[in-house]
Each structure stands twice: as structure tokens, then as C-alpha cells.
């Protein structure tokens, strides 16, 4: 049964999108489509989402929000962050690969503590609002032994980064993914995350 769920999930992975075109969130009606608009006041990114999805509370420090489709155990979380960690980039900060590798280690450690085994898929190159991105995906079983799929799309610039976390039951992939793909095509970065940072690395 478990193996069958994982095979099904791997088959459905091709449907998962890999190209994406603080203060309280603001929403308004997108006339003519029945979709609403979320704009993040801190990082400036925005996305349109179906009007039957629930808008959750802002994430800590206003970095983003979680959207809840009308399917149990599913969500799409959108967030932004500063790129201030030391790395091997020309500016002395993390590269996208370094950030993605660290992200994978953190997730693996988190689930290991819960004694949940993850099956990682091969990373893929992607874009998010026109910026280079990494697409990380993995499957696992939740505490009720349901097969789950998560996809994390990460983008990192010189100054800021963006992230999208998609979580859904594996057997709902064909139901939800077309809507999520359409939603992420509306994603706008809001400003250039490669702009020069006000946080200048110290000279050696």
C-alpha cells in the first residue's frame, strides 16, 4: 500500500509547477475572475488566489501568509526573507544552491525528530516571478499514514529571497495542482530582490 502511494506520487510529480511566472495582508476582489489578491507589505510580493481558499494569519514578523484550499491537509505558504547568511556568492552571502542545501538539511532534521522518513525527489531548476529558483520535493506519511507530497520553491537574490511551500495529500495532486499552477503564474515579486542590500558585508 505504501509503495503504491509513493509510485502514484512520483507519477504525479510531473504535474507540479517548476516555472512560475508584518502589517496585515490586504485582499481585494479580482473582478472578472472570482479570485482575490494577497500582497505582502514587508517584501512586496503578491499573488492571486481562488475566493474559496481561506487566508490564514500572517506568518511571524509579517514575512508572509498561508493559504488553505478547501481540501483537508493542504496548504500553500508564501514567504520572503533577507539574504544575510555568509556564503560563497560574490557578495559574500549564500548562493541559491547553498540556501537550498541548508533548507533540505533543516527539513530532514525536523522530520527526523518526529521519526518521519522522507523520500526526496531530484532537485529541479525553476523560476519564481522571473528569478532563478530551486524546486525541492519530497513525500512522506503523516501521523494517520496518509501519503503526503510537499514541494518547496526557493528563490534567492543578493538582498532578499522568496519561497513557496506546497503541501497536499498525494491523491489530491490532480485536483489541486492545476489551480496552484495558475495561482503561481500570477505571482509577482514586487521589487528586485537582487538590489544592493543596505546591509553591507564587512571588508576583510
Please tell me the predicted confidence (pLDDT) of residue 32: 38
pLDDT of residue 158: 87
Q: pLDDT per residue over 62-101, tens digit each?
A: 999 999 999 999 999 999 999 888 888 888 889 999 999 9
Q: Which residue segment(s) compose the domain that 8 sits in? A: 2-185
Is the Cβ–Cβ distance between 66 and 56 less than 8 Å? yes
Residue 198 inside a domain? The answer is: no
Strand partners, 138: 120, 150
Q: Is residue 57 part of a domain?
A: yes
- Residue 163 maps to a domain: yes
Of 4-18, 20-34, 48-62, 93-107, the range with the lowest mean pLDDT is 4-18
> Could you please report the per-residue DSSP string of 118-144?
-EEPPPEEEEETTEEEEEEEEEEE-TT
pLDDT of residue 39: 96
d(CA 47, CA 40): 9
Pick 135 or 194 by higher pLDDT: 135
Classify residue 96: in a domain, yes or no. yes
Sheet holding 29-30, edge to edge: 29-30, 35-39, 46-50
Assigned domain for 71 exists: yes
Look at residue 77 and give its three-state secondary structure: strand
Report pTM.
0.81
pLDDT at 106: 96
If you average pLDDT over every residue of the chain, what do you get? Answer: 84
Q: Is residue 203 part of a domain?
A: no
pLDDT band at 193 (very low <50, low <70, confident <90, very high): confident
Q: What is the CATH number of the domain that holds 101?
A: 3.40.1000.10
Tell me how many domains the chain contains: 1
Q: CA 130 to CA 194: how far, in whole Å?
A: 12
Instruction: Please report which residue ranges of the chain form alpha helices under DSSP H.
Output: 2-12, 96-113, 173-185
In a domain, 202, yes or no: no
Rounded Cα distance between 58 and 64, Å, is 6
In a domain, 24, yes or no: yes
Amino acid at each position: 500500500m505504501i509503495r503504491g502511494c509513493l509510485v502514484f506520487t512520483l507519477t504525479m510529480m510531473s504535474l507540479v509547477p517548476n516555472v512560475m511566472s508584518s502589517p496585515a495582508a490586504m485582499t481585494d476582489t479580482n473582478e472578472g475572475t472570482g479570485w482575490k489578491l494577497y500582497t505582502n507589505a514587508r517584501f512586496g510580493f503578491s499573488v492571486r488566489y481562488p475566493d474559496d481558499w481561506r487566508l490564514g494569519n500572517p506568518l511571524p514578523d509579517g514575512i508572509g501568509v498561508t493559504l488553505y484550499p478547501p481540501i483537508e491537509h493542504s496548504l500553500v505558504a508564501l514567504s520572503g526573507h533577507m539574504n544575510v547568511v555568509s556564503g560563497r556568492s560574490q557578495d559574500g552571502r549564500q548562493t541559491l544552491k547553498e540556501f537550498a542545501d541548508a533548507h533540505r538539511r533543516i527539513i530532514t532534521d525536523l522530520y527526523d525528530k518526529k521519526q518521519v522518513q522522507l523520500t526526496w525527489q531530484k532537485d529541479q531548476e525553476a523560476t519564481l516571478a522571473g528569478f532563478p529558483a530551486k524546486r525541492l520535493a519530497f513525500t512522506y506519511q503523516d501521523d494517520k499514514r496518509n501519503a503526503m507530497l510537499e514541494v518547496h520553491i526557493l528563490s534567492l537574490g543578493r538582498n532578499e529571497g522568496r519561497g513557496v511551500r506546497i503541501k497536499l495529500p498525494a491523491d489530491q495532486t490532480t485536483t489541486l495542482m492545476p489551480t496552484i499552477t495558475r495561482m503561481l503564474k500570477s505571482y509577482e515579486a514586487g521589487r528586485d530582490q537582487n538590489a544592493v542590500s543596505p546591509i553591507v558585508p564587512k571588508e576583510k
